[in-house]
Structure 1
Amino acid sequence: MSDSQIPSRGPLPEPLEVSQIPPSELAPEVKPEEESRSSALLREITTSNALLSVLAVVLALVAGAILIAFTDEDVQASAGYFFSRPSDLLTAAWEAVSGAYSSLFQGAIYNFRADNFQAGIRPLTETLTFATPLIAAGLGVALSFRVGLFNIGARGQMLVASAAAGYVGFAWELPTGIHLIVAVLAGILAGALWGGIVGLLKARTGAHEVIVTIMLNYIAFYLISFMLRTPGLLQAPGSNNPKSPAMLPTAVLPDLLGPRYNLHLGFLVVLVATVYVWYLLNRSSLGFQFRAVGENPNAARVAGIKVKNMYLYAMLLAGGLAGLAGVNQVLGTVTTGFSSGIDAGIGFDAITVALLGGSTPWGVFFAGILFGAFKAGGFAMQAGQGIPIDIIVVVQSLIVLFIAAPPLVRSVFHLPAPGTKRRSGRGKSGKSGTGTSAKPTKSAKAVNQ
């Protein structure tokens, strides 16, 4: 067939430029699959700091259980013939761990072996008593954390507050009610001033708060030790021991549930302090400035916030809260006189409580109760099962370790990292990927031509 015999089909269409093709025809818009409400809630829970703290406690308790099993004599004896009767080792380990944690619970929450309900709840009241100064000091440390300051001087602030409140408590004779209020305010004011020294040096000279608080801890300790050895200052008259006189009855925090329990009014005061710190940080303009400085001090300075003043105000409040912990120690727990060890390590435990609570007021409150339970139940565990009290210290240390290593906790429990969203589902074509159709569009055919 010649060329003249080929039927004419008309002129070929000119190929379209890519810029002339509507985007909807060139590549259909892919709308990301919206995350369901339940999936969003689950993702928020699994990436929250609260869950991370709970899981850190769980891991620490598991590690403590392993230590308890390894230190038990029956477990060590049954390990010698493990391959002949492996069930003996597992039974001994279970009895050791369950017995220890059962004693811990009965010594911290409720004693099922007690004769009546009043005696059964005594462990819970002991837990709250131990938790009271921990919560107060933890609030002071957490408040400084929110402003970007690492306050490890709660011990010194507690010691100074204990000395001030104690001196007012045994040396001043005031009417009932007024005496207690004056003693409490004296302790809070002393702790605030001791913490304010840190804020002032940080604001005016740029001194690092860690170094300053460490030095002030030593200064407070040796200053109080000197005053307890000096007649006419804090030492009890006629005594050669470094101990203060007993507090006057009008300066002692009254019992909440009667004389058979050690829980005193200080717990309610700390509860009010928790509400106040929550309101301060979340509902007040000063708290907003605190949080802004803690997030980015340079941006806060550009926004017109006086960063140096915020450092001073924060340390004043933090010192006052730590001082409240010292007041509870000297006027509520130790009313027969105090020594230089009145802080009982609470100043450093407060750092752990603040970390476990995520530097939030209510987180610190419940973390303080947890550590109070450890303290109250640890003695019962040692007395009932012969478990060394050092196991509780190891558990507390492991809690700090796991909180300081969030990726480790997430990897153990296979939790997503913060900010990770659920992957989108399959596309409309039924294949994974972007969800676009595999068939080329008409415009794409034109481009190919």
Structure 2
Amino acid sequence: MSQAKVPVWVNVALIPLLNIMLAFAVSGLVILAIGENPIEAAGYLIYGAFGYEEGIGYTLYYATNLIFTGLAVSIAFKAGLFNIGGEGQAYIGGLGVALVCLWLDSSMPFIIIMPLAVIASALFGAAWAYIPAYLQARRGSHIVITTIMFNFIASSLMVYLLVNWLKEEGRMAANSRTFAENAWMPYMHEILAPLGINISDSPLNGAFILALICCAFIWGLIWHTRWGYQLRTLGTNATAAQYAGIDNAKVTIWVMLISGGLAGFVGVNEIMGVNHNLLLNFTAGYGFAGIAVSLMGRNHPIGIILAATLFGALYQGGAELAFEIPTITPEIVVVIQGLVILFSGALEHMFKDRIEGFFIRRAA
């Protein structure tokens, strides 16, 4: 079907909105089936996510991780690569953050620790993405298979390091010691207080600003640089890119390095911003959720911010919903999240042909 007469906003906004509305409609039927009022449940969910300052802070805190992983998936996808390894890359990125903080928190001020920790998170995440990228570019291994396997390797490596090397002495939990406060990422309420802006305390921290900077960087890189043209050409037609003189293997590797570095920034938000120590399973599935965020956001930074905010609202609002209505368990909230992913991802073309056909006939 020709796309020439279909407005851009139809694919960018209208179709995703319809998919999300259908997902929530089906979710309402699920809530109705367990004997609860879906309108009341929706009210609790929206209020929990956006109804008060602390709830908004939690929503944006969750969204920060999803922006990082969504960007990681999107830039790889633009080059025709499906990076499923965001979970492992975020895990190893957190290791880099923790090593810098554990090493320097007793001797260096925050102004030095912060940039070094951010750089370490990107380098460790990129390093973990490099091996699958090399195997894809130089040995023909499938990037999906290798990145999935590296998630499990990262998990096993973190267990080994925490249990045998980094665990704080005298405690059973496999956690490192708590960093000194000069190695903590400041919270947003602390950042805004000197400006005369007072907001409620929440886990939202300076990593949110880093996430917005990353969005601007990816937007500029993909659509306004020669390197962005190369990666988009590779993603559109690898054979044409090769005939145009583009080194496909080289582009594959550096795109995956950027993707892994973006996923590694999750460690800044979780390890340096909230937990203040290294612990197991801090990624909590953000690497996989980033795939849905990228697809829902149409692989565009603005769309990713909106999709990440939606998922952050589901996380925070779902917790409020489960608290206010005990019969709606956290598992039901996961079902609602899954329905959003289903209709925005696997079933995203349900209305596409009909809606595009309507606009084409209207233009004719």
Following superposition of structure 1 onto structure 2, how do residues 41-190 of structure 1 map, counting pairs within 5 Å?
43-44=6-7, 47-72=10-35, 96-110=37-51, 120-172=52-104, 173=106, 174-190=108-124
Cα 1:51–1:423 shift into 2, 3 Å: closer
The structural deviation recorded for 1:234 is 1.7
Cross-structure match for 1:83 = none
Q: Where do 1:274-293 residues align within 5 Å?
A: 274-293=215-234
Identical residues among aligned pairs (%)? 32
After superposition, residues 355-370 of structure 1 pair within 5 angstroms as 355-370=295-310
Query: 1:342-366 CA distances to partner (integer Å, 9 max, x unpaired)?
Result: 1111111111111111111111111
Please, which runs of 5 or more residues in structure 1 have no aligned partner? 1-39, 73-92, 111-119, 425-449
Match of 2:195 in 1: none
Whichever residue aligns with residue 51 of structure 1, its letter is L
Task: Name 1:198's counterpart in structure 2.
Answer: 132
SS at match of 2:127: helix
Question: One-letter code of the match for 1:312?
Answer: I
Write the distance in 1 (CA, Å) between the matches of 2:243 and 2:79.
16
**How far off its partner does 1:194 sit?**
0.7
Does the 8 A contact of 2:126 with 2:264 survive in 1? yes
CA distance in structure 2 between the aligned counterparts of 1:46 and 1:323, rounded to whole angstroms: 32
Amino acid at match of 2:62: F
TM-score (norm 2): 0.91
TM-score by length of 1: 0.74
**SS of the residue 1:133 aligns to:** helix
What is the one-letter code of the residue matched to 2:40?
Answer: G
**Change beyond 3 A, Cα 1:196–1:59:** same
Q: How many residues align?
A: 348
Q: For the residues of structure 1 that align with 2:145 and 2:189, how far apart are their CA atoms?
A: 42
| CA 392–248 in structure 1, closer or farther in 2 if over 3 Å, else same | same
Name the CA distance, whole Å, in 1 between partners of 2:116 and 2:169: 23
- For the aligned residue pairs, the C-alpha RMSD in angstroms reads 1.9
5+ unaligned residues in a row in structure 2: which ranges? 191-199
Q: 1:69 to 1:419 in 2, by over 3 A?
A: closer
What corresponds to 1:319 in structure 2? Answer: 260
2:178 aligned residue: 246
After superposition, give the CA deviation of every residue in 1:303-339 in whole Å (9 maximum; x if it has no partner): 111111110011000000000112211111212x232
Amino acid corresponding to residue 296 of structure 2 in structure 1? L
Q: How does 1:184-263 map to 2 (within 5 A)?
A: 184-230=118-164, 233-258=165-190, 260-263=201-204
Given candidates 221, 239, 244, the residue that maps to 1:303 is 244
Higher mean alpha-carbon deviation, 62-71 vs 162-171, is at 162-171
Q: Report the AA paired with residue 202 of structure 2.
A: Y
SS of 2:87's equivalent in the other structure is helix
Match of 1:377 among 281, 292, 317: 317
Q: In structure 2, how many angstroms separate the alpha carbons of the residues matched to 1:333 and 1:344? A: 14
Q: Secondary structure at the match of 2:188?
A: coil
Give the superposition deviation at 1:419: 8.6
Matching residue of 1:32: none
Conserved 8 A contact 1:160-1:220: yes
Distance, in Å, in 1 between the alignment partners of 2:58 and 2:178 is: 22
Given residue 141 of structure 1, which amino acid in structure 2 is its aligned partner?
A: V
In 1, the alpha carbon distance for the partners of 2:358 and 2:253 equals 33
Q: Is the 8 A contact 2:61 2:312 kept in 1?
A: yes
- Cα distance change on mapping 1:343 and 1:46 into 2, 3 Å: closer
* Matched-pair contact (CA < 8 Å) for 2:129–2:260: yes
Distance 1:166-1:122 versus aligned 2 partners, 3 A rule: same
Structure 2 distance, partners of 1:421, 1:57, is 25
Give me the whole-angstrom Cα distance separating, in 2, the residues matched to 1:356 and 1:417: 22
Structure 1's 418 and 184: CA in aligned 2 closer, same or farther, altered over 3 A?
A: farther
Supply the distance in 2 between the matched residues of 1:58 and 1:375 (Cα, whole angstroms). Answer: 18
User: What is the alpha-carbon distance in structure 1 between the residues aligned to residue 217 and residue 245 of structure 2?
Assistant: 26
Q: Is the radius of gyration larger for structure 1 or structure 2?
A: 1
Q: 1-side partners of 2:8 and 2:241: how far apart? A: 30
Give deviations 1:210-248, integer Å, cap 9, x for gaps: 110011111100000011101xx3211222321111122
d(CA) in 1 for partners of 2:274 and 2:16? Answer: 29
Distance 1:149 1:382 in 2: 37
Amino acid at match of 2:246: I
Aligned-partner Cα distance in 2 for 1:407–1:269: 33
1:340 corresponds to which of 280, 285, 291: 280
How far does the alpha carbon of each residue in 1:176-219 deviate from its partner, in whole angstroms, 9 at most, with x for none? Answer: 21012111211111001111212111111011001100111111
Contact 1:153 1:216 in 2 (8 A): yes
Q: Deviations over 1:221-277 (max 9, x none)?
A: 0000011101xx321122232111112212211011137232110100100000000
Does structure 2 conserve the Cα–Cα contact (< 8 Å) formed by 1:46 and 1:416? no
Does residue 349 in structure 1 map to residue 285 in structure 2?
Answer: no
Contact persistence 2:16–2:348 (CA under 8 A): no
Q: How many angstroms does 1:374 deviate by?
A: 0.6
- Greater helix fraction, Structure 1 or Structure 2: 2
In the TM superposition, what are the counterparts of 1:389-400 in structure 2 within 5 Å?
A: 389-400=330-341
Matched to 2:142, the amino acid is H
